[in-house]
Amino acid sequence: HKDEGINISLLPKLKLEGKIFNKIKIFAKNGSELPICFGLTKELLYLLGLYIAEGHAERNFLLLSVHEKDFQNVFNKCTEKIGIKVSERKQNRGDFNINNCLLSDVFSNLCGTSSRNKKLPSWYLELSEQQLSWLLSAYFSGDGTVTDNEIQASSASKRLISDLSYALLRYGINARIRKKRKYATNTLQKTKRQYFEVVISGRDNL
C-alpha cells in the first residue's frame, strides 16, 4: 500500500520471488504508480512502438501524437488493457498525455527521450518474431511511408535506423540506410537537418 510502503532501495534485500513480486507497485511522491513487473504483451509492445515513432518524454509525463482515428482506437485499447490513464490535449487534438513520471522514466530509458536519441529497447533481439512484429508494426504505422516501390521511415536518430535494419533481418528483409537533409516537421525553423532513412525495396523484401 502506498501509505505503508518501503523505500525502493530496500527491495533487493528482501529477496522476493515468484508471484508475490508481481503484486508489488512503485509509487512516486506526486501520486504516480506503476507495477514493478510488466509482461511483454502485445499491448505494451504496440505502445512502445508508437512511442518510438510519435512520442517524447518529459520529466513527469509522456506525450504521444496519435491523429488517425483507427490508430487512436488501437492506442486507447492498449492503454486501457495495461491500465494506464491518458488525457487528450484540448488545444491539440490527437496529442495525448500520459501523466506518469515513473512510466516516462521507463520509456525514456528504454527507447530515448526525443527524436535525436530514439532507439529500440536493448533487448529487442531477444524478443520472439511475433513480439518483435508487434513493436515494428506499431512503429511503421506511426512513422512509415509507403510508395509504389518502397517502404521507408526516417528519423533524426542514426541509432534507431540502425536498430530497425537489424530487426528487419529477423524476417529476411534486407533494408538499405541512406542519409537525407530535410526540414524538420515539428519546428518553424527553416534550417535543413541531417536525417537517416531505412528503406525497404525490391519485390522479395516488400
pLDDT at 136 over 90: yes
User: Over 80: is that where the pLDDT of 174 sits?
Assistant: yes
Q: What is the pLDDT of residues 56-88, one digit of tens each?
A: 999 899 999 998 888 899 999 999 998 888 999
Q: Across the chain, what does the average pLDDT equal? A: 87
How many other CB atoms sit within 10 Å of the CB of residue 164?
27
Whether 54 contacts 142, CB under 8 Å: yes
With residue 53 as reference, give the H or E element that holds it: helix 42-54
**34 CB contacts (<8 Å, ≥6 apart)?**
25, 26, 100, 102, 103, 106
Residue pair 120/132 in contact (Cβ under 8 Å)? The answer is no
Phi then psi dihedrals of residue 104, to 5 deg: -60, -40
| Residue bearing the bigger pLDDT, 119 or 192 | 119
Q: What percent of the chain has pLDDT over 90?
A: 59
